[in-house]
């Protein structure tokens, strides 16, 4: 009776908590899915501004490769090349094997005569797996290797050759993952110039000398920030632009 009363006391709380969580998850899932299809309907009815707005909000709620591809298409049809290229770069960031995103970027860069980001070898290697897969593989391989080295001692098992081999393999995989992890970190500093004829300034000031005008969609790497300005490096040179003029592939 006491146990039952204990359960009956906890039950409403637990049930309410579980129900609230389920509702929250369902709401997020339903809202995300609903927004995505609302964007599709708007796009198909020719309302590209509405579609872009919906997919932009949806991508902030839950980044997804399909949402970014569609957002890029809507932005492209609106003539906003910078945001379109940024959306497709983000689609590739989410899913590096997405052929549509890659093809759209090729098309945009050929049509607008834009440069593609120049990737180092470790950045190119980081494209071989999804970005979080590298951290997962590195973590599992490292701790598996540590486990195969330490657990036999801790648990006083008899040492076996297979344990040593697996530990060595784990360490090797971990070491191979390190350049790609570094490549992901450096790739996260890649950005896209959003506005056309963006002034690349010599100094981070409003009255600074303009060194050149960057086209929308031009890739750049941000080096550091100062106030409302970012120091970026592009294929044309290094200079300062306003924060709002650069969209980072991986927003901070």
Q: Could you list the residues that contact another protein (CB under 8 A)?
A: 32-33, 36, 40, 43-44, 62-67, 69-70, 73, 76, 90-91, 93-95, 98, 100-101, 103-104, 106-107, 110, 130-132, 135-136, 139, 143, 146-147, 150-151, 154-156, 181, 184-185, 188, 249-252
Q: Which is nearer to another protein, 49 or 251 (CB)?
A: 251
Pairing of strands 246-248, 190-193: antiparallel
Evaluate whether 201 touches 209 at the Cβ level (below 8 Å).
yes
**DSSP three-state, residue 227:** coil
| 85, two tokens | 């290229």
Please report how close the Cβ of residue 239 comes to another protein at its closest, in angstroms.
25
Nearer to another protein, 96 or 236 (CB): 96
Least separation in angstroms between residue 104's CB and another protein is 5
Question: Which CB, 122 or 238, lies closer to another protein?
Answer: 122
When the beta carbons of 36 and 229 are compared against another protein, the nearer one is 36
Distance of CA 16 to the CA centre of its chain: 35
What's the min distance (Å) between Cβ of 155 and another protein? 5
Q: Which residue has the tokens 């648990």?
A: 155
Distances (CA, A) of 68 to 25, 41, 43, 60, 61: 22, 16, 14, 10, 12
CB of 31 to another protein, least distance (A): 12
Show the tokens assigned to 212. 């050149």
Residue number with CB closer to another protein (105 or 241): 105
Q: Which two three-digit tokens encode residue 181?
A: 């992890």
């Amino acid at each position: 009776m006491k146990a039952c009363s204990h359960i009956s006391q906890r039950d409403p709380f637990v049930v309410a908590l579980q129900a609230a969580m389920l509702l929250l998850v369902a709401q997020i899932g339903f809202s995300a899915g609903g927004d995505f299809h609302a964007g599709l309907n708007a796009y198909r009815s020719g309302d590209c501004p509405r579609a872009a707005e919906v997919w932009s909000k949806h991508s902030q709620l839950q980044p997804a490769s399909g949402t970014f591809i569609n957002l890029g298409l809507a932005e492209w049809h609106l003539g906003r090349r910078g945001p379109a290229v940024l959306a497709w770069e983000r689609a590739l960031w989410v899913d590096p094997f997405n052929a549509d995103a890659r093809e759209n970027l090729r098309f945009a860069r050929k049509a607008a005569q834009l440069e593609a980001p120049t990737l180092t070898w470790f950045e190119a290697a980081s494209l071989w797996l999804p970005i979080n897969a590298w951290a997962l593989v590195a973590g599992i391989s490292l701790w598996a290797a540590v486990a195969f080295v330490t657990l036999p001692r801790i648990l006083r098992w008899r040492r076996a050759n297979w344990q040593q081999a697996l530990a060595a393999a784990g360490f090797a995989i971990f070491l191979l993952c390190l350049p790609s992890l570094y490549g992901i970190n450096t790739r996260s500093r890649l950005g896209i110039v959003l506005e056309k004829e963006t002034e690349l300034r010599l100094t981070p000031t409003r009255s600074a000398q303009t060194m050149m005008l960057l086209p929308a969609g031009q890739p750049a790497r941000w080096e550091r920030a100062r106030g409302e300005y970012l120091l970026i490096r592009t294929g044309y040179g290094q200079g300062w632009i306003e924060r709002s003029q650069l969209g980072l592939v991986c927003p901070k």
